[in-house]
Structure 1
Amino acid sequence: MATAVQAGSVRKKARRLAVLSGFAGVVVALAGCGGDGSSTAESTPSDSPAAQESAGLVIEDPWVKAADEGMTAAFGVLVNDTDADITITAVETEISPIELHEMAMQDGTMVMREKDGGITVPAGGSHTLEPGGDHIMLMDIAEAVQPGDELTFTMTFADGGTYEFSAVAKPFVGAEESYDPGSDSDMDMDMDNG
């Protein structure tokens, strides 16, 4: 019950920030109209309201699966409080190349593969990144990701905007997933629940 109340509180705060972002966006746009035509956009830290506002999207409860080497993944709930769909086309972090992945049936087998076109979060809606579903795949970590470590990610949207967030590493056994190369970007996912 407390978790539902906390999640509701986070969503309310995110919605308030989205409303404020609309106002801030109008002020910034009007201020930019009188210039010499050059752009002086600057990035802002992810924990500042301006960063969240400019994105129009927030990620709730972000986390990364702890791993010693190889691949791992990041998860959370993407929340879009705007009136337009937002498509995430890329994600970056310092310790690994990243792909946006999905789980799908292919030739009677569940496979993990790169998600064509990115991940779209519907206007006024949410999209869950979770084990066994859509996720942010760290393809080859350069160093171990231990429980409690905090990784910083930067999302890039189809419109060129970006959003930075941090995710804490957690131990997660899940369904004992193992990833084996299938083809160029497809990977089979063997599930062992035993």
Structure 2
Amino acid sequence: MTLTRFSAALAATLLAGPALAEDILIEDAYARASNARAGAAFMVIHNQGSAEDRLIDIRSDAAARVELHSHRDMGDGVMKMTHVEAGFAIPAGGSHALARGGDHVMFMGLAAPFEQGATVTVTLTFERAGEIEVAIPVDLERQQTDHGKTGH
């Protein structure tokens, strides 16, 4: 029984930490839902390598469709979310933030509501680094602060 508890605690600790594959490091990932049908995920993607990489796809069983999205200014104060088929460049030695009001992961047709404290598993696909599976915690309470950064 103690071994089972230890294994569960170890698994939870590993899932809560940053995801790392080769030169790509995923930090500060969290997901939230705006309603029972749609949600979004945000994170900072660091490229610790010497060559640019590109996030080109995302998959998850959490929704019928999962896409890389951005906001586009349509003028007159109107912003429209658009699917970014080309993905997002992650510069060598740099990072790219997927943040509220900017580039993000969009979940459409949620399989189940995102509940506080749950996790959403996604597979990120990069041109160079390949696939990275990330367990993203659902944080419905996180507030947006200045410059698109988030905090509690």
Secondary structure at the aligned position of 1:65 is classed as strand
Q: Provide the C-alpha distance between the structure 1 equivalents of 2:129 and 2:140, rounded to a whole number of angstroms.
A: 33
Q: Which runs of 5+ in 1 are unaligned?
A: 1-45, 176-194
Corresponding residue number in structure 2 for 1:145? 114
Q: Residue 169 of structure 1 is aligned with which of 129, 138, 141?
A: 138
Q: Provide the C-alpha distance between the structure 1 equivalents of 2:115 and 2:71, rounded to a whole number of angstroms.
A: 25
2:69 corresponds to 1:101: yes
Q: Provide the C-alpha distance between the structure 2 equivalents of 1:111 and 1:172, rounded to a whole number of angstroms.
A: 24
Corresponding residue number in structure 2 for 1:130? 99
Query: Quick one: structure 1 residues 158 and 125, their matched pair in 2 at CA, closer, same or farther if it must change by over 3 Å?
Result: same
Deviation, 1:83, is 0.8
Match of 1:77, as an amino acid? Answer: V
Q: Provide the C-alpha distance between the structure 2 equivalents of 1:53 and 1:118, rounded to a whole number of angstroms.
A: 18
Secondary structure at the aligned position of 2:135 is classed as strand
Deviation, 1:158, is 2.5
2:26 corresponds to 1:59: yes
Find the structure with the greater CA-based Rg.
1
Secondary structure at the aligned position of 1:165 is classed as strand
Task: Calculate the TM-score normalised by the size of structure 2.
Answer: 0.74
Match of 1:127, as an amino acid? Answer: H
Q: Residue 114 of structure 1 is aligned with which of 77, 83, 96?
A: 83
Deviation, 1:120, is 1.1
CA contact (8 A) 2:21 2:129 kept: no
Match of 2:59, as an amino acid? Answer: E
Q: Provide the C-alpha distance between the structure 1 equivalents of 2:141 and 2:83, rounded to a whole number of angstroms.
A: 22
102-111 or 70-79, which deviates more: 102-111
RMSD: 2.3
Q: Which has the higher helix share?
A: 1
CA contact (8 A) 1:67 1:145 kept: no
2:36 corresponds to 1:69: yes
The alignment-based identity, stated in percent, is 30
Which aligned segments of 4 or more residues in structure 1 are displaced greater than 2 angstroms? 51-54, 106-109, 172-175
Secondary structure at the aligned position of 2:20 is classed as helix
CA contact (8 A) 2:60 2:66 kept: yes
Secondary structure at the aligned position of 1:136 is classed as strand
Corresponding residue number in structure 1 for 2:11? none
Secondary structure at the aligned position of 2:121 is classed as strand
Q: Which has the higher strand share?
A: 2
Count of aligned pairs between the two proteins: 126
Query: Quick one: structure 1 residues 53 and 100, their matched pair in 2 at CA, closer, same or farther if it must change by over 3 Å?
Result: closer
Task: Calculate the TM-score normalised by the size of structure 1.
Answer: 0.59
Which structure has more relative contact order (CA 8 Å, sep 6+)? It is 2
Corresponding residue number in structure 2 for 1:32? none
